[in-house]
Amino acid sequence: MKNVVLIGFMGCGKSTVGIRLSYRLRRVVEDTDRRIEREQGKSISEIFAEQGEAYFRELETDLLRRMKQEPGIRIIATGGGLPMRKENRRLLHELGQVIYLQLSPETVYERLKNDTSRPLLQGEDPLGKIQKLMSERAPVYEETADIVINVDGNDMEKTLQMIEAALAEREEQA
Ligand code: S3P
């Protein structure tokens, strides 16, 4: 068994699925955003506002490099923009099996319309921002993933069952 790495757009449920999966698979869960916040002593919004997005992207890559050296098999939930760097995609693959939680821009909008913690979606026309970012990112998520799970319309239980079934199938094939 390798690490299980969750990728996907903001609001697709990586953090929540990560926590639930950690109970089911009895493995520690690590969330890259939460760890960066802990290590920096600041929220993601504060890091974006004070140091800028480029600095945050460096923190993500630096964290992945360190995680690769760390022992133990974990569930790793990642920030939505993390797979956009080529080096990060390579590191994600070295870390484990990559699962993409796919969902539509409309569902993201519904889930995040009152959220203030995602700096990239603040301001005018959040749905337009989601659609634009999603169209740039979806092909990259797909290319990066070993397993794609469509979560639109699923409840949490269904999503967890689909992930477990996909992981079991890959175990059999290995
Ligand atoms: C980002 C997603 C966020 C967080 C930051 C940037 C992105 O994580 O890393 O706000 O570029 O999509 P979530 O996907 O957990 O919201």
Cβ 88 vs Cβ 62: under 8 Å: no
**Residues 109-147 pLDDT 10s:** 999 999 999 999 999 999 999 999 999 999 999 999 999
Residue 33 Cβ < 6 Å to ligand 1: yes
63, 64, 92, 120: which to mutate for ligand 1, most atoms within 8 A of CB? 120
Distance 45 CA to ligand 1 centre (A): 10
Ligand 1 atom nearest residue 15's Cα = 15
**Residues 4-46 pLDDT 10s:** 999 999 999 999 999 999 999 999 999 999 999 999 999 999 9
Residue 80 Cβ < 6 Å to ligand 1: yes
Per residue, the 3-state secondary structure of 15-67, as one string, reads HHHHHHHHHHHCCEEEEHHHHHHHHHCCCHHHHHHHCCHHHHHHHHHHHHHHH
3-class secondary-structure state, position 168: helix
Residue 120 Cβ < 6 Å to ligand 1: yes
Residue 18 Cβ < 6 Å to ligand 1: no
**Cα separation of 85 and 65, whole Å?**
13
**Cα separation of 106 and 162, whole Å?**
22
What would the two tokens of residue 120 be? 């990239």
Tell me the average pLDDT of the chain.
96
